[in-house]
Structure 1
Amino acid sequence: MAKQLLHLVYGGELVDPQSNEFRDVAEIDVVGIFPNYATAYDAWKGAAHKTVDNAHMRYFIAHLHRLTDAEEETSATQKAG
């Protein structure tokens, strides 16, 4: 069984298409959390295609497993130190 690597897909309307600042954080669309990059990518692609006509809309994939891994490393370092 493959290791579970959680990914979050989210997006919304940006203040400027050249930035990553959302116009209204309360309106961020959380598409979902997915068990691997491939399924997250499919969800990202579907959400992005629905909003292709709005240049200010942008969707992202966040690698949640990297945050969890970093927390585990920090906890292990604190215990050892």
Structure 2
Amino acid sequence: MTFQEESLATNAQSQESEQLLHLVFGGELESLDGLTFRDIDKLDIVGIFPNFATAEKAWRKKAQQTVDNAHMRYFIVHMHRFLSPGQD
């Protein structure tokens, strides 16, 4: 194995083990140009995901399921930024 191959393998392993938590949630907005939810008790908490790629996949799935409701919006929150401010 060359140095470059070893480096790539090490980077892939560290990216897999690094948890950058992301929250996916959504709800129906009061208006199309705002971010106020109609009913906070009805927010859809999709889940917490270990990286952006899996969070984005879940976000896309939920967004596509609700495409007929223009007021329904789903969001990805980068929780790792709140847990470790200043690190990205």
**Which residue in 2 is equivalent to 1:63?**
78
Q: Is 1:33 equivalent to 2:52 in the alignment?
A: no
Q: 1:17-47, CA deviations, whole angstroms, 9 ceiling, x for partnerless residues?
A: 1111100000000000000000000000000
- Runs of 4 or more, structure 1, over 3 Å off, are none
| 1:1-81 mapped onto 2 (5 Å cutoff) | 1-2=14-15, 3-70=18-85
How far apart, in 2, do the equivalents of 1:46 and 1:4 lie?
A: 22
- Where does the alignment leave 5 or more consecutive residues of structure 2 unmatched? 1-13
Question: How many angstroms does 1:64 deviate by?
Answer: 0.2
3-state SS, counterpart of residue 26 of structure 2? strand
TM superposition score normalised by structure 1: 0.84
TM superposition score normalised by structure 2: 0.78
- Where does the alignment leave 5 or more consecutive residues of structure 1 unmatched? 74-81
Larger of the two Rg values belongs to structure: 2
**Which residue in 1 is equivalent to 2:6?**
none
Q: State the number of aligned residues.
A: 71
What is the root-mean-square deviation of aligned Cα atoms in Å?
Answer: 0.9
Identity among equivalent pairs (%): 56
